[in-house]
């Protein structure tokens, strides 16, 4: 694997790896010009040569840059750095410079066990506040899940990763037409599971599933293993009420 450059755009110093996703890796960084800690998202080298993934990555930066709200992780800058691979061939490595959030992923918090109802509702309200803001900006997140929410040291909710967000008016962005399942099946709305058009209600459904997970410690259909069976459960099954679990 190609070694990530240590300095991007002549100012962003790349530090330790602090997170990894399907498309990208996130490093701790330093903006040497402003003297502040940042997070730097780098598209995985294996995907950087694919024009589709590079387009998705650039679109993520553009969409997230439109979000200026305390409950949404800020994007400061984005670009592409020319690097040389192991064979000496030059290629472009896209990057996104983001606000560094000192906290824990909600996914890790849930792994410790169910939250007290009052705290679960507080976090759920923060997520809904972020969604209200993004929906007013005409963006549907489409991948609300515990792995895309951070809780800062002082308890602030921070929603991140608008990598597969779509404009509310873009009804053509369906699972069937993209040829891939975008999002995380445990948090799919019925219309996502069917491969149909989606809108802001998709995010609200996912937030409801997430709130269920906060209260119970697991999602309503986490016991279902097969992906197709899981998608069908969101379409046709009623979850067991949290009070019974």
The C-alpha torsion from 19 through 218 and 234 to 139, rounded to 10°, is: -40
Of these residues, 143, 161, 170, 203, which one is catalytic?
143
- If pLDDT is split at 50, 70 and 90, which confidence band does 192 have? confident
Mean pLDDT for the chain overall: 85
- If pLDDT is split at 50, 70 and 90, which confidence band does 183 have? low
Taking the C-alpha atoms of residue 144 and residue 149, their distance in angstroms, rounded to an integer, is 8
Mean pLDDT of 2-21: 83
pLDDT of residue 164: 52
Residues composing the chain: 245
Lowest mean pLDDT among 72-81, 98-107, 184-193: 184-193
Could you tell me the pTM of the whole model? 0.82
Is 191's pLDDT higher than 80? yes
Taking the C-alpha atoms of residue 35 and residue 30, their distance in angstroms, rounded to an integer, is 7
Q: What is the DSSP string of 26-37?
A: EEEEEETTTTEE
pLDDT of residue 196: 86
pLDDT digits 0-9 by tens, 34-72: 999 999 999 887 787 888 888 888 887 888 888 889 999
Is 171's pLDDT higher than 90? no
User: Are the C-beta atoms of residues 40 and 50 closer than 8 Å to each other?
Assistant: no
Other CB atoms closer than 10 Å to residue 64's CB: what's the count? 23
pLDDT of residue 176: 33
Q: How far is CA 32 from CA 6, 12, 69, 222, in A?
A: 12, 6, 25, 44
Is 128's pLDDT higher than 50? yes
Note if 108 is an active site residue.
no
pLDDT of residue 163: 58
- If pLDDT is split at 50, 70 and 90, which confidence band does 5 have? low
pLDDT digits 0-9 by tens, 70-86: 999 999 999 988 877 76
Of residues 177 and 5, more confidently modeled:
5
Please name which of 170, 162, 163 lies closest in space to residue 130, comparing C-alpha atoms: 162
| 3-state class (DSSP) for residue 6 | coil
Q: Which residues contact 209 (CB under 8 A, 6 or more apart)?
A: 186, 187, 219, 220
Q: How far is CA 173 from CA 31, 50, 191, 211, 234, in A?
A: 36, 20, 12, 26, 20
């Amino acid at each position: 694997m190609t070694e990530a450059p240590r300095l991007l755009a002549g100012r962003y110093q790349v530090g330790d790896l602090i997170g990894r996703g399907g498309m990208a890796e996130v490093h701790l960084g330093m903006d040497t010009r402003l003297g502040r800690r940042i997070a730097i998202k780098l598209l995985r080298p294996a995907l950087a040569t694919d024009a589709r993934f590079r387009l998705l990555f650039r679109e993520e930066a553009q969409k997230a840059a439109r979000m200026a709200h305390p409950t949404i992780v800020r994007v400061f800058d984005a670009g592409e750095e020319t690097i040389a691979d192991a064979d000496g061939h030059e290629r472009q490595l896209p990057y996104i410079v983001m606000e560094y959030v000192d906290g824990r992923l909600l996914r890790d918090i849930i792994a410790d066990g169910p939250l007290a109802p009052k705290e679960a509702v507080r976090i759920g309200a923060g997520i809904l506040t972020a969604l209200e803001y993004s929906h007013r900006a005409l963006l549907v997140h489409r991948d609300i899940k515990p792995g895309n929410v951070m809780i800062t040291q002082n308890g602030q909710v921070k929603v991140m990763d608008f990598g597969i967000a779509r404009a509310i008016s873009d009804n053509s962005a369906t699972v069937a037409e993209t040829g891939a399942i975008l999002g995380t099946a445990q948090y799919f709305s019925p219309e996502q599971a069917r491969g149909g058009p989606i809108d802001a209600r998709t995010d609200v459904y996912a937030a409801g599933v997430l709130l269920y997970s906060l209260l119970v410690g697991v999602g309503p259909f986490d016991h279902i293993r097969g992906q197709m069976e899981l998608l069908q459960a969101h379409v046709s099954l009623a979850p067991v009420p949290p009070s019974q679990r």
